Chain A
């Protein structure tokens, strides 16, 4: 298996522009997680899906952030408009569900490094 795939790996944009990050989870996994990592705040869970349905978006920082999962093999995280404080590494992770709960092991993608100028 190719693992979790994220694109782009690097994104540089200007303040006010729309940014879309993409994720393809591991085939067969029914949980998908979006995280943000910064030096100041560490690793933060933004939102997660189960069977394509958003379960908890309490970590989404504000209305400028939105996430979708239109099917089992694709998810997007969109920031509109972007701001310099959104600069971070964004990770997608997936896991296999067991008896309705996510298993312990989450498999992370390589991340997208976002820089907002």
Chain B
């Protein structure tokens, strides 16, 4: 069935470091792909998305490219800030029904 696998955390980085959080997926057809972010004490919110192969989603300095050949959607940011500390979820919509399938989340800690 459809699934999302993302790197386990926690990931700890110093401020201004380069960030990569890996995400791979299994799905038939042409899913849409997302990254959601959950700040402490809050619900999830959409960070970025891509709806077809080779699309790049971007927001708040974060980027991810839909790679169909490697079934990946890795999240990157060139220079992280303390305020980026949160849990990041990779997700997919198989576009067959109304559900979104979430990965288990990766906790990110940024040290000042």
Contacts and interface: CB of A to CB of B under 8 A. Distances in A.
B98 interface: yes
A4 B105 contact: no
A101 B46 CA distance: 18
Interface residues of A, number: 22
Contacts of A102: 98
A109 B99 contact: no
A108 B46 CA distance: 9
Interface string A80-98: 0000000000010101000
A91 to B, nearest CB: 5
Interface in A32-69: 42-43, 45, 48, 50, 55-56
Nearest to B49: A104
Q: Decide if the interface of chain B is mainly helix, strand, loop or mixed.
A: loop
Contacts of A104: 32, 34, 46, 49, 51, 93, 100
Contacts of B105: 42-43
Contacts of B49: 104-105
B104 interface: yes
B43 A111 contact: yes
B41 A106 contact: no
A43 B89 contact: yes
Contact of B102 (A42, A55, A56, A110): A42
A55 B97 CA distance: 10
B42 interface: yes
Interface of A: 4, 31, 42-43, 45, 48, 50, 55-56, 91, 93, 95, 101-102, 104-111
17 contacts: A31-B98, A42-B103, A43-B89, A43-B102, A45-B99, A48-B98, A50-B98, A91-B43, A93-B44, A95-B98, A101-B97, A104-B32, A105-B46, A107-B45, A108-B44, A109-B43, A111-B43
